[in-house]
Amino acid sequence: MFQYLNEEAETLSREKIEALQDERLKRIVAYTAKSNPWYAERFRKAGVDPLNFGGIKEITKLPFCSKADFREQYPLGMCCVPRNTLAEMHMSSGSTGTPVVMPSTAYDLKQWAQCMGRCYVMAGAKRGDTCQITPGFGLFNGGFGCYHGAREAGLFIVPTGAGNTTRQIKLAQDFGTRVMVSVVSYSIRIMELLRQTNQGLPDLKIGIFGAESFSAEMKKRITTGLGIDAFDIYGMTETGGIGLGMDCPAHEGIHVWEDQYIVEVVDHETGEPVPDGEFGEIVITSLNREALPVIRFKTSDRGRILTRKKCVCGRTHLRLDTISGRLDDMLIISGVNFFPTQIEQSLLKIPGVLPNYQIIIRDRHGIKSLRINVEAEPGVTGFMVEKQLKEDLGFSPEGDIYKPGELPRSEGKAKRIFYETLDDNSSKGETK
Ligand SMILES: [Zn+2]
């Protein structure tokens, strides 16, 4: 019943996975040090001899790298191959400043296609299935990652890219889309339009979602609303793009392709490893990339390792819990720490509340307060929202209830968090 793109690699024994990781880690340390003085200098400072590095058991001796390193080394300071051997690049800009660039050689594109291809097949996609790719084809890695992987898995690609929801629906109907890739907020948009126009997508069975953290409650709305099985794909520009892992049909955690990546979970502040099962910051090392292998990249994603045991699907690669949020996005309001996805989870528990909302963080003289605007069907009252948030988060923010369709929509990743500074006497007007 369960299918694999690469059965041998996906079902390696734990011993074999660890032996392979050990060998590849030693190789990547020696390779990067030899290819680029930036890496060599960092190893030297950390007291690591790249030619005699001890492998996995010494991984904590290797220095971390971060988004800031990518920005400082823009455009190709961390690249390990000559520019004329590159095949493609992707980039993410983030909220401020210099972008993060990930260059790829032809070998890297094959590696990416392999990872993404495994995800499609794991979700149940079969050779010849129509696969509609709604993330944009551009600098953002999503569209092209889905494309390379779909080629590898032998799917029939409908590369719509972002936007034009009416046409997306028409193409999905006309070409019998069975697999659709999208960001969560965009699938909400499609669901909304289907409902308004009284249409359906009877062939659609598999939804692959990435790029935004989403709550279990949101997932439930999507799976029932579209009548699909929903998968949570993981990966980022710095690791070579989306597809380094995804959950399988058992939905008991995100399998990370451990022959390609090492996952660690560390304390966000101290950088010390935390035991399996405990939450911390996810750190990724890419073991099989040529142009820009990351070594101990601090993702800022908060998560935990659920298990390293073999899954019912037969895969042996470890499983991560759903990413609970970006540590950079954690909010502290009235002394309570929480992630925006917790607000989403709480709101969507209320029947009649729609998956369109805004979180507004107001800063008055350094004191933060929260305002939540949400769309809801008639009958939902402010009191119901307040009560639910109080119960789940321990305090109730201010806010308004909007009619369906009143809050602004986006064609891509939704903007849900807004910052406002109300510091009347201060010369600084910027928060984030
Ligand atoms: Zn599994």
| 432 domain-assigned | no
pLDDT in tens, 358-372: 989 888 877 888 899
Q: pLDDT band at residue 424, thresholds of 50, 70 and 90?
A: low
Same domain, 254 and 380: no
Between 187 and 288, the more confident residue is: 288
pLDDT at residue 7, as a whole number: 97
Quote the ligand 1 centre to 250 CA distance (angstroms).
6
Q: pLDDT band at residue 411, thresholds of 50, 70 and 90?
A: low
Q: pLDDT band at residue 318, thresholds of 50, 70 and 90?
A: very high
Same domain, 364 and 242: no
pLDDT at residue 109, as a whole number: 98
CA distance 15 to 243: 24
| 426 domain-assigned | no
Between 9 and 408, the more confident residue is: 9
pLDDT at residue 329, as a whole number: 74
Same domain, 338 and 217: no
Same domain, 233 and 357: no
Same domain, 168 and 116: yes
Same domain, 83 and 209: yes
Quote the ligand 1 centre to 173 CA distance (angstroms).
30
Quote the ligand 1 centre to 255 CA distance (angstroms).
7
The dihedrals phi and psi of 376, each to the nearest 5 degrees, come to -155, 160
Domain end position, chosen among 310, 327, 344: 327
Count of domains observed in the chain? 2
| 226 domain-assigned | yes
| 403 domain-assigned | yes
* Number of helical (H) and strand (E) elements in the chain, helices listed first: 11, 21
Domain region containing 416: 330-421
Whether the per-residue pLDDT at 149 is higher than 80: the answer is yes
Decide if 177 contacts 202 (C-beta within 8 A): no
Q: pLDDT band at residue 397, thresholds of 50, 70 and 90?
A: confident
pLDDT in tens, 236-279: 999 999 999 999 999 999 999 999 999 999 999 899 999 999 99
Strand duo 280-286 + 261-266: pairing: antiparallel
- The CATH code of the domain that includes 167 is 3.40.50.12780
Quote the ligand 1 centre to 2 CA distance (angstroms).
9
Q: Which range (13-17, 139-143, 414-418) has the least confidence?
A: 414-418
| 431 domain-assigned | no
Domain end position, chosen among 301, 327, 353: 327
Q: Looking at residues 384-413, what average pLDDT do you find?
A: 86
pLDDT in tens, 52-71: 999 999 999 999 999 999 99
pTM: 0.86
Quote the ligand 1 centre to 305 CA distance (angstroms).
14
| 27 domain-assigned | yes
Among residues of the chain, what percentage have pLDDT more than 90? 74
- Mean model confidence pLDDT for the chain: 92
pLDDT at residue 412, as a whole number: 66
Domain end position, chosen among 292, 327, 362: 327
For the chain, state the CA radius of gyration: 22
Quote the ligand 1 centre to 314 CA distance (angstroms).
6
| 65 domain-assigned | yes
- The CATH code of the domain that includes 367 is 3.30.300.30
pLDDT at residue 396, as a whole number: 82
| DSSP letter for each residue of 23-83 | HHHHHHHHHHHHH-HHHHHHHHHTT--GGG--GGGGGGGSPPB-HHHHHHTTTTTT--S-G
Quote the ligand 1 centre to 308 CA distance (angstroms).
11
Quote the ligand 1 centre to 179 CA distance (angstroms).
19
Planar angle of CA 360, 363, 368, nearest 5 degrees: 80
Beta partners for 261? 286
Q: Looking at residues 28-48, what average pLDDT do you find?
A: 98
Between 328 and 85, the more confident residue is: 85
Element (H, E) at 254: strand 254-256
Quote the ligand 1 centre to 244 CA distance (angstroms).
14
Whether the per-residue pLDDT at 171 is higher than 60: the answer is yes
pLDDT at residue 430, as a whole number: 40
Burial bucket for residue 287 (CB in 10 Å: 0-12, 13-18, 19+): buried
pLDDT at residue 12, as a whole number: 98
Same domain, 295 and 343: no
Whether the per-residue pLDDT at 343 is higher than 90: the answer is no
pLDDT at residue 427, as a whole number: 41
Same domain, 310 and 359: no
Q: Looking at residues 226-243, what average pLDDT do you find?
A: 96
pLDDT at residue 279, as a whole number: 95
Quote the ligand 1 centre to 253 CA distance (angstroms).
8
- Report the interhelical angle of 14-35 vs 37-45 (nearest 10°): 110
Q: Which range (86-90, 186-190, 231-235, 391-395) has the least confidence?
A: 391-395
pLDDT at residue 362, as a whole number: 86
pLDDT at residue 428, as a whole number: 41
pLDDT at residue 324, as a whole number: 80
| 74 domain-assigned | yes
pLDDT at residue 116, as a whole number: 98
Quote the ligand 1 centre to 378 CA distance (angstroms).
41
Same domain, 16 and 157: yes
Same domain, 295 and 336: no
Quote the ligand 1 centre to 209 CA distance (angstroms).
17
Same domain, 223 and 353: no
Decide if 346 contacts 286 (C-beta within 8 A): no
Q: Looking at residues 287-302, what average pLDDT do you find?
A: 97
Same domain, 146 and 252: yes
Q: Looking at residues 12-33, what average pLDDT do you find?
A: 98
